[in-house]
Amino acid sequence: MDDLERSIETVTLADWLVLEDRWYATGRLDPDTLTIGEPAYHQCNWSYLISDSGQHLLFDTGSGRRAIAPLVGRHAEGPVTAFPSHMHYDHLGGIGDFGPVMMADLPMLRAIERDGWITPTETMFLGAYENLTAPTFPVGRWIPPGEVITVGARRLEVLHTPGHSPDSIALWEPERTRFYAADFLYRGDLYAQVPAASLPDYLRTLRRLLKLLPQDVQIVGAHGDEQDGVFDMPALGYGDLEDLLEAIEAVLVRTPHTGERRVTDRMFLLYSAESFAT
């Protein structure tokens, strides 16, 4: 164990979550959707296994601190397709165990494809923060933003959501009123201070989402710290989008600077002077 992990014995899970492999916290959002948390990892990652009729989509593949494939295999009968929300290191940890993956069809990602394989640049991957080297993995299918992908009878629209990173995507499932926000929105510190993050992009994406999503949307993110000493899935709602919009607008009226701003009692925005660029 190093300073990026803590002992699982110190973690208190919410009642509906189950500890698996002495690392993962799993729970059912509904009978066909498994949330997979990493409570002992310092970034408290969450990935989502979306299933129906023997088909499975894994949205993000974890931090890589522990193998995620064995756990996914216990919960998914049949092949699983991985779909990373973006190229940051803490979302690609298990990507090599899932064969050809889905990839957002964005120019910046197409530019690093070579003969059907991708190796993220360090600017995209940011693995130096934890002494990690970018993986190389095959792409099985490119998904343009706005396309609806199917998992059995489930339909999920792929949305380009720049802000945290220029290659970020999210999934919108109208039939279940659920928005899989990845790193765009979650409970805890929102990282708009990392390289290539953009506050103006955040603002444009928020305005688009507030027009698209209904008031009763359930938003599930890719990170989430403890609340009152209990580790739980980072579920948020429409009002959190509105609060973040207000916070970013307030920051952008000032000259570029580095700082942080309280969004709500469960969310803080970290930003840099560089993230003011358009």
Is the separation of the CB atoms in 264 and 243 below 8 Å? yes
Residue 144 domain-assigned (yes or no): yes
pTM exceeding the 0.95 threshold for the entire prediction:
yes
Is the separation of the CB atoms in 90 and 43 below 8 Å? yes
How many angstroms separate the CA atoms of 170 and 227, rounded?
Answer: 24
Is the separation of the CB atoms in 124 and 106 below 8 Å? no
The confidence score (pLDDT) of residue 1 equals 64
Residue 175: how many CB atoms within 10 A of its CB? 9
Q: In this structure, are strands 80-83 and 117-118 parallel, antiparallel, or unpaired?
A: unpaired
Residue 149's domain is classified under what CATH number? 3.60.15.10
Question: What's the total number of domains in the chain?
Answer: 1
Helix spans in 94-198 (H):
107-110, 122-125
Residue 253 domain-assigned (yes or no): no
Q: Which residues of 146-174 are buried (b: 16+ CB within 10 A; e: fewer)?
A: eeebebeebebbbbbbbbbbbbbbbbbbe
Residue 251 domain-assigned (yes or no): no
Instruction: Note down the domain range covering 184.
Output: 8-188+218-233
Q: What is the mean pLDDT of each run of 10 residues along the chain (278 residues)?
A: 88 96 97 97 96 97 97 94 98 96 98 97 96 97 98 98 98 98 96 97 98 98 88 93 98 97 95 94
